[in-house]
Amino acid sequence: MSNPPKLLDQVREKLRVKHYAIRTEQTYVDWIRRFILFHDKRHPKDMGASDIETFLTHLAVAGKVAASTQNQAKSALLFLYREVLEIELPWLDKVTQAKAPKRLPVVLTVEETQAVLSRIKGTHALIAGLLYGGGMRLMEAVRLRVKDVDFARREILVREGKGFKDRVTMLPDVLVAPLKLHLAKVKALHDEDLAAGNGEVYLPFALDRKYPAAGREWAWQYVFPARDLSVDPRSEKKRRHHLDEKGVQRAMKQAVRDAGLTKLATPHTLRHSFATHLLQSGYDIRTVQELLGHSDVATTMIYTHVLNRGGRGVVSPIDKMGLT
């Protein structure tokens, strides 16, 4: 009789059944491992809400982690108990919460955005263009599939965005020609892979079992593939994954530096700038909300706070003195 799978393997299996992303899987497993080690390797089934509260409070007080990090750990542990151990926990109301600072997003002016984008080259420039031109998140761009780019309608279908939601955003006219040229090169690379007996790409939601040949079809290929083939850690198949987002982050950082900007701008800043500049141009906030994929318009409202000229548009008394 075979031994039952180890706890962390059970966690991985449950996450895959529920179609969680591999990065979420790695993060959840890491937090569960840290939780077990924190409690001297006791099995989670022998612990409960008070032990979780102790761990999460330790993260906030001793670890001084950000609120988002503490919430991530909490989500991982709740998944473990509810989905894997099938133990319903009482409300965790004794946790010392990490403070979530209320910060406005960093936003570039139109001139600053142009200065940064003009300093990013090659494939990274195309991705940066999609972030600013369509308000996409970085991972949404690098995970983009060929089938989800509609040149005729000038649209991009963003699959499995934040919260597993699909949405449609715009494909800027200025990116059409360079993107078509880029895809021609990607198609040639894919043809080479097929000729070498490769050419398969990862398919979400176990579609590879339902459509065994789909993984080699052109439509399913990544728009921004990696330079080299790699082994999928889940299936152990040799595939061409999507481009590593760290390269885009480095290119953005260097472009900001070369442009002489002092703002701490990242690729996500381009998405913030997209929303702000649309509102500045007079577009309705509901339209911007839809393009960004926000469930609640209150999330989109944060961009209205960066529209006003210093101090909510109030003219400083010193500016009225005419001093030079």
Give catalytic residue positions.
137, 162, 268, 271, 294, 303
Coil vs helix vs strand at 239: strand
Report yes or no: 288 and 303 within 8 Å, Cβ to Cβ: yes
Chain CA centroid to CA 240, Å: 20
Could you give phi then psi for residue 315, rounded to 5 degrees?
-85, 125
User: How far is Cα 97 from Cα 70, in angstroms, rounded to an integer?
Assistant: 8
Q: Which helix H or strand E contains 255, and what residues bound it? A: helix 245-258
Counting beta carbons within 10 angstroms of the beta carbon of residue 275, is it exposed (0 to 12), middle (13 to 18) or buried (19 or more)? buried
Helices 67-79, 22-38: axis angle to 10 degrees equals: 90
Count other C-beta atoms under 10 Å from residue 257's C-beta: 13
Report yes or no: 136 and 95 within 8 Å, Cβ to Cβ: no
Task: Give the residue from 82, 97, 124 showing the smallest Cα distance to 248.
Answer: 124
User: How far is Cα 214 from Cα 284, in angstroms, rounded to an integer?
Assistant: 40
Q: 167: which 2 tokens? A: 């949405």
Task: Give the residue from 151, 127, 223 showing the smallest Cα distance to 183.
Answer: 223
Task: Give the residue from 62, 63, 56, 60 showing the smallest Cα distance to 99.
Answer: 60
Count other C-beta atoms under 10 Å from residue 71's C-beta: 15
